[in-house]
Every structure is written in structure tokens, then in C-alpha cells.
Amino acid sequence: MTELTSLTIAEAREKLASKEITSVELTKAYVDAIDAFNGTFNAYVTTTPEKAMEMAKASDERRVAGKVGALEGIPLGIKDLFATEGVHTQACSHILDGFKPKYESTVTQNLWDDGAVMLGKLNMDEFAMGSSNETSFYGPVINPWKAEGSNQQLVPGGSSGGSAAAVAAHLCAGATATDTGGSIRQPAAFTGTVGIKPTYGRCSRWGTVAFASSLDQAGPIARDVRDAAIMLKSMASVDKKDTTSVDLPIPDYEAALGQSVKGMKIGIPKEYRVDNMPEEIEALWSQGIAFLKDAGAEIVDISLPHTKYALPAYYIVAPAEASSNLARYDGVRFGLRVDGKDIVDMYEKTRAAGFGTEVKRRIMIGTYVLSAGYYDAYYLQAQKVRTLIKRDFETVFHAGVDAILTPATPSSAFGIADENLAADPVAMYLNDIFTVTVNMAGLPGIAVPAGLDKKGLPLGLQLIGKPFEEETLFRTAYVIEQAAGKFTPAKWW
Amino acid sequence: MSVDLATVKRVARLARIAVTEDDANRMVGELNGIINFVEQLGEVDVTGVEPMTSVTPMDMRKRVDAVTDGDKADDIVANAPVTDRNFFLVPKVVE
């Protein structure tokens, strides 16, 4: 029999509907796969097989009773950043040791309300700060992809590295993820999966551990464009508990697939042609342009002049917000406590022991740029630059551009414990050079696999859209997917 | 602008993170690397530009000022490292 874990969400949905399979069978297949292979990938930091089987059984019963949700019986993995009631929720940080929330995040509640099944919590960079999943307290995740003829272990990207690896290795049908500077799109590109960061406000942030509140958005990582469309529709909602969630109708994203892109204007920003860009990335980009041109889209050269300032502005705004958000981890209300001689000593020792190196570095940067005398020079300047970055996009959209095509990342997946990256934090930050502008402007962005490099590793393209026009992105990404095909790693595990 | 050892220690104190001498010395180099990287923002002309306060223009949704939640003391202290009868316990803060 074909492996049940190789089915996409859409395929599983069909087989469940025709009663060819049950959710209990499908879920059991994933539970067994996780049992057998999670040790190889370290994608899950905690698994919930009993809860999964219980949820699957309940789903099958609902189906018999004629109550079928949009994700009825589909087994999903959940990034450790989402609060899941009574289940390990630690943002993969030591400082949240033992934290089991008494509440459920809005995004995951939406998924369960639509009938989905939870398999467990997925590995990630600590507090979503990282581009390689190596800052996790639970250790790195192994990318299911390997370069041809090489046995080197590669990173799956980050921060949603566990989500991307689990989807690519078929350890879940789809996964939740979050994106503050590229944390959905970069790992999707590194693993040949599809990831979308929706417009800021499309998904509720309630119950998602906060990193940088003005940038954080939840979204799915899935096997293909259709599955991403199915998942986003369920994840998105307006929510009384998040005043930045937006009260706009949620379209049927799946209905956008297959619609023509004829006559659509696709912008190609010249500023994304960066120095030392590998030839293969350049070639992939040209290939993407050709795919869309062949499908009838009009290609236009555009300029987004403040692009180069997005990453430096991000490394002021994000750490500033993080230093404030992470002030709550003080050893009093949850997680780790290290005793000290007085209360301040207790705070300082707890935070020294509980936070990893990268998280401390960003809290320090954030505290510095917000400190007396530096606020105007750094934070205020960065927020003004952010206005200019957003204005760049508004100008091109106003001129009639429907979507923007760029590479998703400046390279394919790199090796675990890369020495150059370990020695230079800024070199690691450059991974987000193409994705971070989208968060700064609050826009939607999708990463879709478009080819393999010479080493046989997947590369992704990014499409950037107007606010709340995710449908345009799905429609356009589907055209690229149809032309490029889908990419799955050769199974070595 | 660049940060020195004393600044790193002052910032660590503000951030309530205990740092050893070794940590602090290492952080001087790392933080300067990042600060140098973000310095390039200084070259952008921002005359007359408003700082961004919200990516999407929106009016804050408001609700009636009424109690909508509560009676969850057990839930609130459930994850705390040290508690006593629904209180969080901390080291003595007043003599």
C-alpha cells in the first residue's frame, strides 16, 4: 500500500472523505513514522501520540455524524512557540522549563475547531531568534536534504526549522510556523516546502510566545501550494484577544489556484540583485521570471530604493521589541528560577542561566538601543526608515504592480556548525536579506520551491503581495509550482 | 558609536542578565559588530518622515470597560516555580 504519510493534505482529505482511510489509520502512520525517525531529525521536541490518537478517533466519530471540518482528521505538527493547553510550550528555551499553559493559542484552537489532529511540538530557534535552528535549547534539527554525494548534515533553516524538516521528512501532513524576519520562508526554501507569511493582522498572535510584536505573524509550512492555502484559511481569524488582528473576510484561498496570471504585472526589484549573489540564485530568479512570462504575466523592472536598510533597521526594531517582551522571564511566574542573594540577583542569575547566547545578544542590543541617550539615534531612526521601506512598496503597488518576485534566500541550506557563521552573527543575519523587508512593511510573502542547485539542494523563490492579497500570491505561486514541479528529498533515513 | 566593556556591563545590568568577565569581553566584539552594521541607517535622509507606529493603518478596537475574565488564581500560579496559597514567592525585597 502507498505510504499514508506521503499523502498531501488535499489527497488525504479526499481519501478520508471517500472512507478509503480513517483519521485513526492516517494518524497512526504518522505516530509510527515519528517513533522511527524523529531521533534522526530532532524535529519534534515533544510528541503527543496518545492525544493524537484520541483526537483522530474523535474526528472519525464526527465524520460518521456528518460533521466535517476543513482539516478534519489531518495530523499536524505545531511549532513550540504556540501555546497548547497542558502540553510543553517553551519556545525551545531553557528559561521556560516545564511550562504547560492553561490556555490554547487562537491559531491552534482554530485548527482543532476545523478537525485537525496534533502530533506534537516542533523544534525551533530559541524564541524564534535564528536562521539555522541551532539556537534551540533542544539542539539542532537535521535537514532531510543532503547534497549529492555528501553525507554532511545540513541545517533546515530557522527559526521554524522543526516545522520545515518535519513537513519535508513526512513526519506531519503540515505544520504551523511563525515569521518575524523570514522564519517561515527561509526554512521552507531550504527544505523544498511551501511557506507563507500572511499580512500582519491576518492571524491572531494571541497565545503565541511574543518575539517582536510589530513583526510576528503565524503561517503554515506545507508540502505544496494547495496545502498551504488550505491551512492558512483555517489559521486566519479576527480575534477579540488580539486587537491587531484584522476584521476582514477570509477568502477561500484554494479557489485562487488555477486562476490565470495573464496580464498580471510582476515587479522585479533591481535592489535584490545583491553583491556576490551565487549564479545559481540569479539563474533561478530568471527561470521564475520565464515561468510567469510564459503564463502570460507582464514582467516590469521596479526599484525599492530603501531595501538595503531593511536588515539594519530590523536589527534595531526586533531586538528592541524583544528586550521588552522577554522582560517577563524573571523566575517569578513561570519556568526556570535560579536562587540568588536578593531579588535582583535572582533575576540576573535566572536570566543568565535560562537564555542562550543569541537571545542574550539580542536582549543586550535591544536594551542598548532603547537606553537613555541612544533612543533617537537608533530606534526612532529605524522606525522612520521603516516608514520609507513601506512607502517603497506602496509606490510600486500604486503604479500597478500586482506582486513582486525575488529569490527567497541568498543560498541553499548550509552545514550544521558552520564556522564562518558561528564566528560572525551579522553573517548569519544576512540569511534574511530578501525576506525581512516584507515583515518591516507588514506585507504577505510566500516562498515556493522552484529548482535545485548544482549540489541537488532545493532553492526557493519569494512572491511579495499587497496587504491582504494572499490570494494573488497563492495563484502566482501555483503557476510557478506547476512549471517547476515539486521537490522531495531522496530518502536516506 | 561603539560600546566598551563598561557599557556592556551597564547594559547587562539594565537587562538583568548576570555576565562573567569573559562573557562581557566577548560581547564587546559581538555588539560592536552589530552596532557597526546598523550604523549605516544614519546615512538615510529622514527629514519630514514620520516614525512607523503601525504597519496597517487601524483604529484600535475598543470594548466596554468591564470585567470579562477572572477567578483563575489557580491557573495563574500553576506554572510558577515557588508559590504559597495563590501567591508568587520571591526573595525578601524590604528589610
Sorted by where each starts, the structural domains of chain B and their CATH numbers stand as: 5-43 (1.10.20)
- pLDDT bucket at B2, cuts 50 / 70 / 90: confident
Q: Are A360 and B50 inside 8 Å of each other by CB?
A: no
Q: What are residue A299's DSSP bridge partners?
A: A266
Regions in chain A scoring below 50 on pLDDT? 1
Grid coordinates representing A253?
484561498
Assess whether pLDDT exceeds 70 at residue B16.
Answer: yes
Q: What are phi and psi of B14, to 5 degrees?
A: -60, -35
CA distance A92 to chain B (A): 16
Q: Is the pLDDT of residue B1 over 70?
A: no
Q: What is the pLDDT of residue A1?
A: 46
Q: How far apart are CA A214 and CA B47, in angstroms?
A: 23
Chain B residue whose CA is closest to A344? B16
- The total of other beta-carbon atoms located within 10 Å of residue B5's CB is 12
Polymer length in residues for chain B? 95
Cα gap A410→A460, rounded to integer Å: 10
Nearest-Cα distance to chain A for B23, in Å, is 10
CA A48 to chain centre: 22
Residues A184, B7: Cα–Cα separation, whole Å: 35
% helix / strand / coil in chain A, to the nearest 5? 45, 15, 40
By C-alpha distance, the chain B residue nearest A241 is B61
Query: Dihedral sign, CA of A403, A442, A116, A166?
Result: positive
Q: Is residue B36 very low, low, confident or very high in pLDDT (cuts 50, 70, 90)? A: very high
Q: Which of the residues of A are catalytic?
A: 79, 159, 183
User: In A, which residues are within 8 Å of B3 by CB distance?
Assistant: 368
Q: What is the pLDDT of residue B65?
A: 94
Within 8 A of B49 by CB-CB distance, chain A residues are 384, 387-388
Strand-pair category, A445-452 with A194-197: antiparallel
CB contact at 8 A, A428 and A421:
yes
Question: Is A328 at the interface with chain B, CB within 8 A?
Answer: no
Q: Measured in whole angstroms, how far is the alpha carbon of residue A259 from the centre of its chain?
A: 25
Give the nearest partner residue to A364 out of B11, B60, B79, using CB atoms.
B11
Chain A with chain B: Cβ pairs closer than 8 A: 169
Q: Could you give the dihedral angle defined by the CA atoms of residues A22, A75, A253 and A299, in that order, rounded to the nearest 10 degrees? A: -120
In angstroms, the CA A164 to CA A431 distance is 16
Question: H-helix or E-strand containing B8?
Answer: helix B5-14
Residue (of A352, A350, A354) closest to A342 by Cα position: A350
Identify the pLDDT of residue A267: 98
Structural contact between residues A329 and A209, judged by C-beta atoms closer than 8 angstroms: no
Tell me if chain B has a CB within 8 Å of the CB of A388.
yes
**A196: part of which helix (H) or strand (E)?**
strand A194-197
Verify cis geometry, omega within 30 degrees of 0, for the bond prior to A159: yes
Q: Contact at 8 Å (CB) between A473 and A403?
A: yes
**How far are the Cα atoms of A189, A269, A437, B16 from residue A411, in angstroms, in the given order?**
9, 18, 18, 37
Q: Do B51 and A361 touch (CB under 8 A)?
A: no
State whether B63 and A100 contact (CB < 8 Å): no
Query: What is residue A2's predicted lDDT score, i.e. its pLDDT?
Result: 64
Could you give the CA distance from residue A132 to residue A161 in angstroms, rounded to a whole number? 7
Cα–Cα separations (whole angstroms), residue A362 to A174, A190, A324: 30, 24, 11
Instruction: Return the pLDDT at B57.
Output: 79
